[in-house]
Amino acid sequence: MTEILVKADIDKVTKEAGREVTVTIPDILEKETLAEITAIIGEDLAYSKLKSQIKSIFTGHIRNKLEAKDKEGEFTKTIDEIATTDYSTWIPEVRVRTTKVEKASNLLKDLDDEQLKLVLANAGIDLT
């Protein structure tokens, strides 16, 4: 059986320490296909949950467009541009998450030699 750690913050403002518990996940979360899940919860509930999640992903996509700003702090899209875009063929995409190492690598590769030396020196790394 697989376990999962669930954490809860008591106070979102003060970040007062919350509680956490490790529990055994239900069998349905061990399933690997939509057919296996549907066999357990039924087609109507599976469809409803999937559609709800897709709607949430889509509204997040639009929210990102609403919030996106350029280097000068100006919004990158106008309300009209967002509202008049044809989303009829939109489908959710697989979100590729980068590790901390990949993020650091991407940031470091854009630095010139002097900047890189400074970063490494601040990290206590001497390449000489």
| Sequential pLDDT tens for the chain (128 residues) | 688 888 777 666 666 667 788 999 999 999 999 999 999 999 999 999 999 999 999 999 999 999 999 999 999 999 999 999 999 999 998 878 888 888 888 888 888 888 888 888 888 887 76
> How many other CB atoms sit within 10 Å of the CB of residue 82?
14
Q: pLDDT tens, 95-117?
A: 788 888 888 888 888 888 888 88
Alpha-carbon Rg for the chain in angstroms: 22
Looking at residue 13, its pLDDT comes to 67
Burial of 30 (0-12, 13-18, 19+ CB in 10 A): exposed
Residue 68's pLDDT is: 93
Do the beta carbons of residue 78 and residue 68 sit within 8 Å?
Answer: no
The token pair that represents 95 in the structure block: 């979100």
Closest to 49 (Cα-Cα) out of 36, 67, 60, 37: 37
Residue 29's contacts (CB-CB under 8 Å, 6 or more residues apart) are 2
pLDDT at residue 43, rounded to an integer:
97
Instruction: Identify each DSSP E strand in the chain by its residue range.
Output: 3-8, 19-24
Which DSSP letter does residue 75 get? B
Q: CB atoms < 10 A from the CB of 62, how many?
A: 15
0.75 exceeded by the pTM? no
